[in-house]
């Protein structure tokens, strides 16, 4: 099964600053990639997904991610964060007809 | 539109006790998953199912059993609970296989 590495366990950032959360995956075959967000004491909510086609994917709440096959990366970006973006973010990968695996998570803290 | 529903939401068990967690989905999804979430470790796959009557092991299956007797339900059992199984458990479902997963709200289990 593919593995997923989130390179930063915690990312502190000031409000209205840009942010990038990094994710690398290992897979030798076509892969589907996802970013999920988890707010305190809640389940996971899908932010965006890459299944095929354009490598730049736009999601909810102003987030976007770029699929880079040569670097096996799928980094999440937002040009200007808000206090309400404070949450844990998970990168995930799967292959068709296979299970989904998650990274360890990145805790984004937005400070005023 | 309920989506994925987990029962119960909270439970405290004594070491050696058994229990079953129930996951129900109303989206006619083929794939269903059980994950556990522990601090700093992200979500780890326990077991999954690719359809009614089938189950498969994930990353951390030891100490757990599952059953998928009906397409809409996926049960996770702990035969003899241990403190190491204290965790938050998430159920998810997806269709088509390998694409976006929808999550339940989680079950917080404490084993004392």
> What's residue A82's pLDDT?
96
User: 3-class secondary structure for chain A?
Assistant: CCEEEECCCEEEEECCCCEEECEEEECCCCCEEEEEEECCCCCEEEEEEECCCCCEEECHHHCEEEEECCCCEEEEEECCCCHHHCEEEEEEEECCCCCEEECCCEEEEEEC
Query: Does the beta-carbon distance from B43 to A97 stay under 8 Å?
Result: no
Chain A interface disruption, residue of B50, B93, B100, most A CBs within 10 A: B100
Residues B63-86, mean pLDDT to the nearest whole number: 96
pLDDT tens digits for range B3-31: 999 999 999 999 999 999 999 999 999 99
> What's residue A42's pLDDT?
85
Query: Does the beta-carbon distance from B59 to A104 stay under 8 Å?
Result: no
Is the pLDDT score of A28 beyond 70? no
pLDDT tens digits for range B77-95: 999 999 999 999 999 999 8
Rounded to the nearest angstrom, the minimum Cα separation between B41 and chain A is 5
What's the pLDDT band for B66 if we cut at 50, 70, 90?
A: very high
The residue with greater pLDDT, B98 or A72, is A72
> What's residue B102's pLDDT?
92
Query: Does the beta-carbon distance from B40 to A98 stay under 8 Å?
Result: no
Query: Does the beta-carbon distance from B97 to A32 stay under 8 Å?
Result: no
- The rounded mean pLDDT for chain A is 91
What's the pLDDT band for B67 if we cut at 50, 70, 90?
A: very high
């Amino acid at each position: 099964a593919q593995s997923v590495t989130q390179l930063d366990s915690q990312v502190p950032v000031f409000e209205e600053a840009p942010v990038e959360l990094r994710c690398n995956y290992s897979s030798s075959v076509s892969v589907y990639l996802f970013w999920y967000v988890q707010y305190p004491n809640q389940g996971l909510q899908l932010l965006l997904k890459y299944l095929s086609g354009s490598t730049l994917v736009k999601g909810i709440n102003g987030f976007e991610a770029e699929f880079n096959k040569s670097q096996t990366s799928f980094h999440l970006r937002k040009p200007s964060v808000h206090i309400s973006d404070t949450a844990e973010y998970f990168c995930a990968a799967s292959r068709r007809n296979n299970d989904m695996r998650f990274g360890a998570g990145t805790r984004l803290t937005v400070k005023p | 539109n309920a989506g994925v529903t987990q029962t119960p939401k909270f439970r405290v068990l004594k070491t050696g006790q058994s229990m079953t967690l129930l996951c129900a989905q109303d989206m006619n999804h083929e794939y269903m998953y059980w994950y556990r979430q522990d601090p700093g470790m992200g979500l780890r796959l326990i077991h999954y199912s690719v359809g009614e009557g089938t189950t498969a092991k994930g990353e951390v299956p030891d100490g757990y059993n599952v059953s998928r007797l009906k397409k809409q339900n996926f049960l996770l059992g702990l035969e003899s609970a241990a403190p190491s199984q204290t965790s938050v458990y998430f159920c998810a479902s997806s269709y088509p296989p390998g694409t976006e997963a929808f999550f339940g709200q989680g079950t917080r289990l404490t084993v004392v």
